Amino acid sequence: MKKTCLLLFLLLHIAAAVGAQTLQSSPTTYQAYFQEIEAATQEYRQLWGRDLYSSILLVDPQTRYTIANEADTAGVLRKAGDVFAGYLPPQVNLANTALRWGGKHWAMLLLPLPEDRHERVSLLAHELFHKAQPSLGFALYNPENKHLDQKKGRIYLRLELEALKKAVQASSEDERKALLTHALTFRKYRHQLYPGADSTENLLELNEGLAAYTGLVVSNRSKKEAAAHFVSTINAFLSDPTFVRSFAYQTTPIYGYLLRDKQKDWNRGIAAATNLTDYFARALQINVPRDLKSASERTAGTYGGNAIIAEETKREEEKRKLLSDYKRRFVEQPRVEIGLEEMSVSFDPRNIVPLEDLGTVYPTIRVTDNWGILTVEKGALMSPDWKKIFLPLPTSIDEDEVSGEGWTLELNSGYRLIKESSSGGYKLRRK
- CB-CB contact of 377 with 349 (8 Å): no
Residues 239 and 370 in one domain: no
Q: Are 270 and 279 in contact (CB under 8 A)?
A: yes
67, 96, 116: which is the final residue of a domain? 116
Contact between 218 and 40 (Cβ < 8 Å): yes
> How does residue 133 score in pLDDT terms, banded at 50, 70 and 90?
very high
Would 133 be classed as within a structural domain?
A: no
Does residue 60 fall inside a structural domain? yes
- The confidence score (pLDDT) of residue 144 equals 87
The answer to whether 163 and 179 are in contact (CB under 8 A) is yes
pLDDT score for 11:
34
* 322: in domain: no
Residues 325-372 pLDDT 10s:
999 999 999 999 999 999 999 999 999 999 999 999 999 999 999 999
Q: Alpha helices, DSSP H only, in 194-222?
A: 197-204, 210-218
Same domain for 154 and 289, yes or no, is yes
pLDDT of residue 265: 97
CB 52 within 8 A of CB 132: yes
59 pLDDT higher than 70: yes
Which letter, b or e, does each residue of 407-421 get, where b requires 16 or more Cβ atoms within 10 Å of its Cβ? bebebeeebbbeeee
Amino acid at 199: S
pLDDT bracket for residue 25 (50, 70, 90): low
Q: Residue 253 has what pLDDT? A: 98
162/296 same-domain check: yes
Burial 114-136 (b: 16+ CB within 10 A, else e): bebebbbbbbbbbbbbbbbbeeb
Residue 14: pLDDT band (50, 70, 90) is very low
**Cβ–Cβ < 8 Å for 372, 389:** no
129: in domain: no
How far from the centroid of its chain's Cα atoms is residue 159's Cα? 21
- Residue 3 has what pLDDT? 42
* Banded pLDDT at 223 (limits 50, 70, 90): very high
What is residue 7's predicted lDDT score, i.e. its pLDDT? 43
Instruction: Kindly state whether residues 280 and 169 are assigned to the same domain.
Output: yes
* Position 21 pLDDT exceeds 50: no
298, 352: one domain? no
Asked which of 76, 99, 116 is the last residue of a domain, the reply is 116
The pLDDT assigned to 20 comes to: 33
Domain final position from 116, 136, 156: 116
DSSP string, 268-326: GG--TT--HHHHHHHHTT----S-HHHHHHHHGGGGTHHHHHHHHHHHHHHHHHHHHHH
E-only strand ranges, 162-240: none
Q: Over 60: is that where the pLDDT of 194 sits?
A: yes
Please tell me the least confidently modeled range out of 7-16, 43-52, 53-62.
7-16
Q: For the sheet containing 56-59, what is the strand order?
A: 78-80, 83-87, 65-68, 56-59, 104-110, 97-101
Kindly report the average pLDDT of the chain as a whole number.
93
CA distance 431 to 428: 9
Note down the domain range covering 379: 335-430
Q: Does an H or E element contain 155, and which?
A: helix 151-167
Q: Does 288 lie in the same domain as 198?
A: yes
Statement to judge: residues 299 and 244 lie in one domain: yes
Q: Is the pLDDT of residue 53 over 70?
A: yes
Q: Please state which of the ranges 5-19, 184-198, 213-227 shows the lowest mean pLDDT.
A: 5-19
Q: Within a domain: residue 10?
A: yes
CA atoms of 357 and 63, how far apart (whole Å): 38
**Phi, psi (rounded to 5 degrees) for 417:** -90, 125
290 with 243, same domain: the answer is yes
SS3 405: coil
| Cα 235 to Cα 238: distance, rounded to the nearest angstrom | 5
- The pLDDT tens digits for 236-272 are 999 999 999 999 999 999 999 999 999 999 999 999 9
Q: Phi and psi at residue 26, in whole multiples of 5°?
A: -80, 160
Instruction: Assess whether pLDDT exceeds 60 at residue 10.
Output: no
Overall number of domains in the chain: 3
Task: Note whether 58 and 194 are same-domain residues.
Answer: no
C-alpha 111, offset from chain centre: 17
Average pLDDT, integer, range 71-93: 95
Q: What is the pLDDT of residues 141-191, one digit of tens each?
A: 888 899 999 999 999 999 999 999 999 999 999 999 999 999 999 999 999
b/e string for 281-314 if b means 16 or more Cβ within 10 A?
bebbebebbeebeebbeebbeebebeebbeebee
Tens digit of each residue's pLDDT (9 = 90 or more) over 380-420: 999 999 999 999 999 999 999 999 999 999 999 999 999 99
- The DSSP element (H or E) to which 373 belongs, if any, is strand 372-376
The predicted-structure confidence for 302-330, as pLDDT tens digits, reads as follows 999 999 999 999 999 999 999 999 999 99
pLDDT given at position 340? 97
Shared domain check, 10 and 111: yes
Q: Do residues 177 and 236 make contact, with C-beta atoms less than 8 angstroms apart? A: no
3-state DSSP assignment of residue 149: helix
Are 107 and 201 in the same domain? no
> Sign of torsion, CA 292 234 168 145?
positive
Give the global pTM. 0.91
In a domain? residue 138: no
Tens digit of pLDDT for each residue in 150-164? 999 999 999 999 999
Is there a domain that residue 135 lies in?
Answer: no
**pLDDT tens profile 103-115:** 999 999 999 999 9
Q: Which of 296, 429, 299 is nearest to 371 (CA)?
A: 429
Angle between helices 173-193 and 197-204 (to 10 degrees): 120
Query: pLDDT at residue 216 above 80?
Result: yes
16 HSE (CA, 13 A, CB side): 7
Domain check: are 202 and 266 in the same one? Answer: yes
Peptide bond into 112 cis (omega under 30): yes
Please determine, for residue 198, whether its predicted confidence score (pLDDT) is greater than 50: yes
200 inside domain: yes
**Geometric angle at alpha carbon 247, from 382 and 125, rounded to 5°:** 100
